[in-house]
Chains A and B, each alone.
Chain A
Amino acid sequence: MSELRSELKYLPSHEWVRVEEDGTVTIGITDHAQESLGDVVYVETPEVGSNVSAGEEAGVVESVKAASDIYSPITGEVVAVNEALEDAPETVNGSPYDDGWFFRVKPEDLSELDGALDMDGYKAAIEEE
């Protein structure tokens, strides 16, 4: 069984979301997602300073097995990306919720996250798959 964290919110497309103390939002992919993808070999993150929109593609994760789009859960400006993934994409497999984060957004409207799943909601969603 894959790891889930109660402090995170989730999208049905297998991203996790964490609201930081400074009001920015960090996005990554779930343990379940990295397990399904297998060894991650490339990660494409959005550029710092670019704008992402809720529900739109913001990046790509490619594993040995498949390519998968990363969706942003929220609209805003990208304020940081995890540059370490460029040289060590396997970090996504080893540490999906910590060192393997993808990008951080300064949101326009935090209430866009109201529709995101909590841990139990996401757990139910992946059990249905």
Chain B
Amino acid sequence: MGNKTSLYTVHTEMSAKIVDFGGWDMPINYGSQIEEHKAVRNDAGMFDVSHMTVVDVTGTDAKAYLQYLLANDVDKITTKVGKALYTAMLNDNGGVIDDLIVYHMGDWFRLVVNCATREKDLAWMNDRIGQFEVELNERPEFSMLAVQGPNAIEKTISVLGEQAGELIKPLGVFSGVELSGDQEGWLAARTGYTGEDGLEIILPEAAAPDFWKALAAAGVAPCGLGARDTLRLEAGMNLYGNDMDETVSPLVSNMAWSVAWAPADREFIGRKALEAEKSAGVEKKLAGLVLRQKGVLRAHQTVLDSEGNPCGEITSGSFSPTLGLSIALARIPKSLSGSCFVEVRGKQVPVSVVKPSFVRSGKSLLGD
């Protein structure tokens, strides 16, 4: 028996198939993962992501501490309350301890980190406090829902009401706002993990079941972690533990864009290792692969170059319901482009090497 979110009973009432996910009993689907995937691409779907860990960082040194702790620079989001930032948290070798989102909440910050990495993240973060005047507070009393899809925001507002609508409508991408009135203490942010527009909402767990049911009544499809995985893969978004971990740097994980090198005097953890890696020459990349024949690319399959020599490995692979073929993320030599091979069930099959982003806002990015 694993941990259960505040929505567990609601999931089982909606005939969810429950699986263990990082110690949590979570819905993998409510029938068909592909139908749920398509609901998000074409309309609106919702995910219970309450297993994720919410940590609030307060204190006079909160900003300075996060500028030291994280590879991206939280100074970028201090211009406006509610702004959000995607970042890696690195170890001294430049390996990725976790990827997370930071929200600027005024004079404090909110972090959302992965559930499978919760314990090591909290231990690492506590150990790095040192002389900083900060306090870390985990907030297990919150639930978190992701409502995603072209109609997600409109349908969410229809449930939350006009007051919330006026706060949510002006939100830019990667921005959030604290709601008011009946929804005092809720955080609604225009973020997600699907490549579609939508919201992620952090709310008190007591309010989550009614909110979920109201969204369902408004036509938002309940979606499980199965659809969440194929959606994020199509969007080219990394899954921690698959596509990157402590043994690889953000520079070989399609996350170089999230490393803030400027200002040069910001000494974040892992900076020296990344600079050394950069000056030695980055040799690998996380690329996209597309299989244009029958079969499904899967994690840990071997990638071979045009001469048939093993040169890399698939980190995530699945069937893409939007494209109707199989796609993957793979760590391969930086110089490899055009086409190569993957060993699929004992056979070498040809694949195209593409940018690691396959679908955005419902549209194919493959250009064919």
Chain A residues close to B by CB (< 8 Å): 35, 38-39, 41-42, 44, 60, 62, 64-67, 90, 93
Contact = CB atoms under 8 A, between A and B. Distances in A.
B325 to A, nearest CB: 9
A58 to B, nearest CB: 14
B295 A64 contact: no
Contacts of B230: 64
B296 A41 contact: yes
Contact of B295 (A35, A42, A65, A66): A42
A41 B319 CA distance: 7
Interface string B309-328: 00000000011010000000
Contact of B34 (A35, A42, A44, A90): A90
A38 B32 CA distance: 7
B298 interface: yes
B298 A64 contact: no
A41 B295 CA distance: 9
A60 B345 contact: yes
Q: Which of B226, B230, B296, B318 has the most CB of A within 10 A?
A: B296
Interface residues of B, number: 16
Contacts of A65: 226
28 contacts: A35-B17, A38-B28, A38-B29, A39-B32, A39-B33, A41-B34, A41-B296, A41-B319, A42-B294, A42-B295, A42-B296, A42-B319, A44-B294, A60-B345, A62-B295, A62-B296, A62-B319, A64-B33, A64-B34, A64-B226, A64-B230, A64-B318, A64-B319, A67-B298, A67-B345, A90-B32, A90-B34, A93-B32
Contacts of B33: 38-39, 64
Nearest to B325: A41
Interface in B34-74: 34
B93 to A, nearest CB: 34
Given A64-B34, A64-B318, A38 B226 contact: yes
Given A38-B226, A60-B345, 4 more contacts: A41-B319, A44-B294, A62-B296, A67-B296
Contacts of B318: 64
Contact of A39 (B34, B294, B345): B34
Contacts of B32: 39, 90, 93
Contacts of A38: 28-29, 33, 226
A32 B318 CA distance: 22
A42 B345 CA distance: 14
A96 to B, nearest CB: 14
A42 B29 CA distance: 19
A65 B230 CA distance: 10
A39 B226 CA distance: 10
Interface in B254-295: 294-295
Interface string B100-131: 00000000000000000000000000000000
B80 to A, nearest CB: 40
Nearest to B230: A64
A62 B301 CA distance: 15
Contacts of A39: 32-34
B347 to A, nearest CB: 11
Nearest to A41: B319
Interface string B22-35: 00000011001110
Q: Which 10 A-B pairs have the closest CB atoms?
A: A41-B319, A39-B34, A62-B296, A64-B319, A39-B33, A42-B294, A64-B33, A38-B33, A39-B32, A64-B318
A42 B17 CA distance: 22
Contacts of B294: 42, 44
Contacts of B296: 41-42, 62, 64, 67
A62 B298 CA distance: 11
Contacts of A60: 345
A64 B226 CA distance: 8
Contacts of A64: 33-34, 226, 230, 296, 318-319, 321
Interface string B335-355: 000000000010000000000
Nearest to A42: B294
Contacts of B319: 41-42, 62, 64
Contacts of B28: 38
Nearest to B29: A38
A65 to B, nearest CB: 7
